[in-house]
Chains A and B, each alone.
Chain A
Amino acid sequence: MTTTTDQPLLRIRDLHVAFPTDDGLVHAVNGMDLTLARGETVGIVGESGSGKTVTSQALMGLLKETRAQVTGEILLDGTDLNSLSEDRMRAWRGKKIAMIFQDPLSAMHPFHSVGAQIAEAYRVHNKVSRKAATAVAVDMLGRVGIPDPKRRAAAFPHEFSGGMRQRAMIAMALVCEPELLIADEPTTALDVTVQAQILDLLGELQQETGTAVVLVTHDLGVVAEVCHHVAVMYGGQCVERGSVRELFRDPRHPYTQGLLASMPTLGDDGERLRPIPGFPPSLTALPAGCLFADRCPQTHRVPDGRCHSERPAFLTGDAADHPSRCHQETLATAEEAAR
């Protein structure tokens, strides 16, 4: 379906994002790494404030020409998006990399018809007449499962139901057949039944078009359902990543373990929810050690208080397909090597 280059479609390396505020620099993303192959789906999971939305905004280049300080590399097809000028990035937005948002009602212009908004997205990157673009928009609406697309194209966003709006939003994002689609909490604002439909639709369209998807969500259930890979974010870092199977079967980072344990399941009869105690670190004054150390129940397993003094790094090598940013990993690898 796609070319078989060794190069992954997307590679984020050591991405940092900081926002200057009156209270000092807010370090929203602190060394994010991610790779994504063509046609695959990676889930970025994390709680509010873990930097997942900021990461997706940095991916789209939406932080350019703002006060945000973005460093690191975002390689799409080998081109570093972070060093592109706003003008060059603009040519990529919508064409090579597109985005769908959490709340389709506020993300669509209330005064323009749905069809016109999709057609506009097409005309930005394709020199065609308004009429031709509208035809493309109608066709696209049909592909995302909107009945009677010709008539509905003339309707306004407020005349759509929530699920239909998100379908239209997806149509808008995919109309130029981007190589990468970023979906920022695409189902959070929707009913559970509609959620499943939207996720199915995304999956189908992905099969059809070969678009790679970055799915940003706080919902582990959604991740388990649709993603190939997962990156768990905490305090603006990716603390663990791996294939969905491995990560759910064998979570290595204490945060991931806590996250999975806190998920309610139908099996627990009347059992209480198990939240992770404590709060995420302040993003204006990050601790020197592991960002999760203050909430981690396993710091006693690491000697010399290293959890609080030294920030763990990802291991490379054998562990690279399921790395965890935890000192216990480093120790385990060291022991193995000693044996």
Chain B
Amino acid sequence: MIAFLTRRLVATVVLLAVISFVTFTLFHFGPADPAAAACGQECTPERIAEARVALGMDKPFLSQYLTYMSGLFHGRTVGAPGAESLCQWPCFGKSFQTNEDVAAVLERALPYTLSVAVGAIVLWTVVGVTFGTLAALRRNKLTDKLIVGAASVGVSLPIPVTGLLLLLVFVSTLDVLPFTTNAITSPFGPAGFDGWFLNYLLPWVALAVLFSAQYIRVTRSSMLETLGEDFMRTARAKGLSKAAMVVRHGARAGLTPVVTMLGLDIGLLLGGAVLTEQIFSVPGVGFTAVRAAQAGDLPLTMAITLLAAFFIIVANVVVDAVYAVIDPRVRAA
């Protein structure tokens, strides 16, 4: 187990280095010109050159990259000579748009993304696993057909469509839910759990419609496969009740693929739910990422890319470790 984790840790670091380099390269040779954006309306070649120096873009490509990377491990100074400012560890640079510490921007955005992610994940997992299992147990009966039908609709509804429909119905027409406000970022804040819950309910539902549908499908097919296994027949031959059979024997094996999927989706979602955050105007990581990319804000884009990659890689490692806990056959290998 320790060897496994060490190996994965090394791989994680290497992978992050590669991803950072690729992102940096793409950005550098891409069409965005942050200097032009930074120097404003009345721009002269001289001012552009000044801006380039201030942003550190006058240096050679590799040296820019190395400077950036060194900042991740210890702080560095940023800005034009004479007007430098300190960027503390871990330094992801300063936003080209606002000159704010990128780390601070992320720190502000993360609670929003977490709020959206946590509720959506709980919602779609419960709905997906419950209905997927139910469909498998009622195979080819009406219940199964209704659930599979609903899942087919859900999986073909894009988030922008669901999101806007939800807003239209529950906020504009029925007026039973508030429009998402940026003031609430935690269930422990002054708005309380209820305020937080109601504030993020619509984004959760929008995400959960799509993801539940996928989880229903995976759960159903995996449970069907498991219910047909020989060991289920053995469980029945022991005299176990149907409930004990399904929970202790069926779900234990049948939900393994769901665990994998869930781990990866959590990793994905922590890197920002771009569409959902856009539609509900939640200033989370995904929302920030879109703004940063549009504005050619290299430090912010880099940081968000690394953050998202980090979450996905960690999710992968966690999934593998969990797998070893669930399935003793994996432990041996």
Residues in chain A within 8 A of chain B (CB atoms)? 60, 62, 90-95, 98-99, 101, 103, 106-113, 120-121, 124-125, 156, 158-159, 172-173
Contact = CB atoms under 8 A, between A and B. Distances in A.
Interface in B221-260: 229-231, 233-241, 244, 248-249, 252-253
Given A101-B230, A101-B233, A101-B234, A110 B240 contact: no
B328 interface: yes
Q: Which of B230, B241, B249, B252 has the most chain A CB within a 10 Å cutoff?
A: B230
Name, among B235, B239, B252, B326, the residue most crowded by chain A CB atoms within 10 Å (CB to CB): B239
Given A103-B230, A156-B329, A158-B332, A109 B252 contact: yes
Given A93-B238, A93-B239, A120-B238, A110 B233 contact: no
B58 interface: no
B239 A109 contact: no
A62 B233 contact: yes
A90 B241 contact: yes
A62 B240 CA distance: 12
Contacts, number: 70
Interface residues of B, number: 22
A107 B235 CA distance: 9
A93 B236 contact: yes
Interface of B: 229-231, 233-241, 244, 248-249, 252-253, 326-329, 332
B239 A90 contact: yes
Contacts of A95: 239
Nearest to B230: A106
B234 A108 contact: yes
Contacts of B326: 111
A6 B326 CA distance: 52
Contacts of B237: 60, 62, 93-94, 98-99, 173
A121 B327 contact: no
Given A106-B229, A172-B234, 16 more contacts: A60-B237, A62-B233, A93-B236, A106-B230, A107-B230, A109-B249, A110-B327, A110-B329, A111-B253, A111-B326, A111-B328, A113-B328, A124-B239, A156-B329, A158-B332, A173-B237
A249 B329 CA distance: 49
